[in-house]
Amino acid sequence: MANLIEDIGILGKDGKELCEAYHVSKDVNTGKSRKLYIESYGCQMNFSDSEIVASILQKEGYDTTSEVALADVVFLNTCSIREKAEQTVRNRLNHFSGLKKQRPELIVGVLGCMAERLKTRLLEEEKIVDLVAGPDAYRDLPKLLAQVDDGDKAVNTFLSREETYADISPVRLNSNGVSAFISIMRGCDNMCTFCVVPFTRGRERSRDPKSIVAEAADLFQGGYREVTLLGQNVDSYKWSEAENNKARLEKKGADGVVNFASLLEMVAQIHPDLRVRFSTSHPKDITDEVLHTMARYENICKYIHLPVQSGSSRILEMMNRGYSREWYVGKVQRIREILGEACGISSDMITGFCSETEVDHEETLSLMEMVKFDYAYMFHYSERPGTLAEKKFSDDVPQEVKKRRLTEVIEKQSQHSLMRNRTDVGKVYQVLIEGPSKKSAEQLQGRNSANKVIVFPANGHRRGQYVHVKVEDCTGATLIGKVVE
Ligand code: SF4
């Protein structure tokens, strides 16, 4: 597994811990005749989409399994964000070809961003693949599977302008029974030059707020105590009865528009014991209205993932991020004014973007000094085919320079994570218990409002409870404490 995570090449938290791998569908046995196995790669949106896929196929007679050997259908829900992520999927397909030789009737499908990017080329390049479905084509999966059953290959990579899967109640595949993710929008209209998302996930559209509130309320009834509202750019959420496509909505105008601040409020009002989180925010789109809404409701967690990507205004402009270094720092100040020092702020950082100089890199390090992120997901730049950066710029920073700069960014972030965590020692936080800690069954772990993991002795407490924990010690990644009444 460590190799696989390394392959994906995503760094997080304390900079040493590698943070993203793949999720495997869990065993759900309701006596249905066929079994579906899904491996999901990449971002939380993908994990969430796999739950929609499982829900669609459950109605078609499929239970899910965590054992590929038991599966009739194997899906890889893929990520295209980095070359290594795609290579990992290709390695997995290679691995499955042995299985397919033994059981030629096994159906192998590729879903998600890689499917959307490569379309029919995937069928030509990977002979084992029977089915290719892009992120907006999951309703079509029963038909595509029937096509494969009839002996054909099947492809649907049509990108919709309206699809939000609003009416589909996801089957929770990887949940701890306490925290769940709710997809609130799809696609992205920003054209960050390094990013494949606008090409693999299409235009921004927002999901009907009534269906979001109903899903969150159902989860609360089912014992869940935390929901994370998910989208590529949640602050851009905009919905009206007449139109859910953001570009069209802004062009035509409409009455009764629900924005992200009002949606947050609607979800927060379900119950004070239901925590609300959201991800990801775009620095140019998060508004004071959102920050004030967060301040008004104790159950809206005081944590914002606010990816800066670079500290150099010149590089930010080349990335088409829509803000400068000064503007970003001003936004962080606004967060501090409205939500205080305790609000957790994390970031994404890319080193070695096209033409990045030592001066640009120093500006990233100095911005990190100014902000002091609680943690960050850090990458070195990996050019992706089809992106604007590939077309417009030369990927001219040598690999060893990208890597050295990444190491420096990671080192700085490790210092800051530890520094920020040390300010928590001696404080008492409300913690939602998520389950046993990774290291010991005698210890439990949960998060505080600022999204920091806190580990403490179990002492009869259990998953799903709120407790107050006094922090007594910390590492760069974890707070350590004990429950106080
Ligand atoms: S905001 Fe930029 S980086 Fe994020 S998904 Fe959209 S295009 Fe990609």
Residue 7 is predicted with a pLDDT of: 33
Residue 18 is predicted with a pLDDT of: 34
Give mean pLDDT in consecutive 10-residue pieces for the chain, a chain of 485 residues: 32 36 81 91 90 94 93 95 88 92 94 94 93 96 96 94 90 87 94 93 94 97 96 94 84 87 98 97 96 98 98 98 98 98 97 98 98 96 94 97 98 98 98 93 96 96 97 97 92
Q: Which of 44, 192, 318, 390 to mutate to test the pocket of ligand 1 (most atoms within 8 A of CB)?
A: 192
* Spacing, Cα 350 to ligand 1 middle (Å): 13
Question: Checking DSSP bridges between strand 443-447 and strand 428-436, what pairing results, if any?
Answer: antiparallel
| DSSP helix/strand/coil, 42 | coil
* Spacing, Cα 416 to ligand 1 middle (Å): 25
Length of the chain (residues): 485
* Spacing, Cα 5 to ligand 1 middle (Å): 23
Per DSSP, what are the bridge partners of residue 481? Answer: 471
Write down the pTM of the prediction: 0.90
410-441 tens-digit pLDDT: 999 999 999 999 999 999 999 999 999 988 88
Q: Which of 183, 191, 232 to mutate to test the pocket of ligand 1 (most atoms within 8 A of CB)?
A: 232
Ligand 1 site residues, Cβ closer than 6 angstroms: 188, 190, 192, 195, 197-198, 232-233, 282
Q: Which of 183, 188, 285, 379 to mutate to test the pocket of ligand 1 (most atoms within 8 A of CB)?
A: 188
| DSSP helix/strand/coil, 53 | helix
Which residues lie below 8 Å from residue 201, measured CB to CB, with a gap of 6+? 45, 113, 116, 135, 136, 159, 186, 187, 188, 232
Contact 299, 274 (CB under 8 A): yes
Per DSSP, what are the bridge partners of residue 112? Answer: 78
* Spacing, Cα 98 to ligand 1 middle (Å): 37
Find, among 287, 304, 280, 234, the residue nearest to 451 by Cα. 304
* Spacing, Cα 199 to ligand 1 middle (Å): 10
Rg (CA), the chain: 22
Residue 242 is predicted with a pLDDT of: 82
Atom of ligand 1 nearest to the CA of 201: 5
* Spacing, Cα 455 to ligand 1 middle (Å): 33
The token duo for 386 is: 């089809």
Residue 3 is predicted with a pLDDT of: 33
| DSSP helix/strand/coil, 277 | strand
| DSSP helix/strand/coil, 45 | helix
* Spacing, Cα 62 to ligand 1 middle (Å): 34
Find, among 46, 42, 40, 38, the residue nearest to 8 by Cα. 42
Residue 11 is predicted with a pLDDT of: 37
The token duo for 357 is: 């100089």
Rounded to whole angstroms, the Cα distance separating 295 from 268 reads: 12
Residue 352 is predicted with a pLDDT of: 98
The token duo for 236 is: 């851009």
What helix, strand, coil percent values describe the chain, rounded to 5? 35, 25, 40
Residue 4 is predicted with a pLDDT of: 31
Residue identifier of the C-alpha nearest atom 8 of ligand 1 = 195
**Residue 322 Rama label (left phi>0; alpha psi -120 to 50; beta):** left
* Spacing, Cα 479 to ligand 1 middle (Å): 31
